[in-house]
Amino acid sequence: MDYRCPICKANLSKGRLSQAVVIRMTIECPNCKSTIRHNFHRVEVMVVLLSFGTFVAAAAFAYWLQSQGLMLCAFGAAMVGALALPLLERTYLRDWPRYALTAQSPAP
């Protein structure tokens, strides 16, 4: 994934911990102070929704049926979903820009 600012081309991959913990749709580039937004790919969003939905459904059925095996299946679904995003970023979304211009940002 390309973590450079679309305006000043500074590398933002070593972002602040506050941006990693509290994700917002727009952030401020620490280099040029421009407002940029997160650019999510459709596949990335679908992977997150499917993994979370699978986890919730399996955990609900495990609770309802009192099944330890199904609870382990829910845990496995959560782990597969957590592993899928970094693999997706390193393979399919290798050249995808993580940040895009906002309406308030000047054109480069």
Do the Cβ atoms of 6 and 99 come closer than 8 Å?
Answer: yes
Q: Check residue 19 and give its pLDDT.
A: 55
Q: Is 46 exposed, middle or buried (0-12, 13-18, 19+ CB in 10 A)?
A: exposed
pLDDT, one tens digit for every residue, the chain (108 residues): 888 888 888 887 776 545 554 566 777 787 888 888 888 889 988 998 999 999 999 999 999 999 899 999 999 999 998 899 889 888 888 888 888 887 665 555
| pLDDT number for residue 23 | 63
pLDDT for 108: 55
Give the chain's radius of gyration (CA, Å).
18
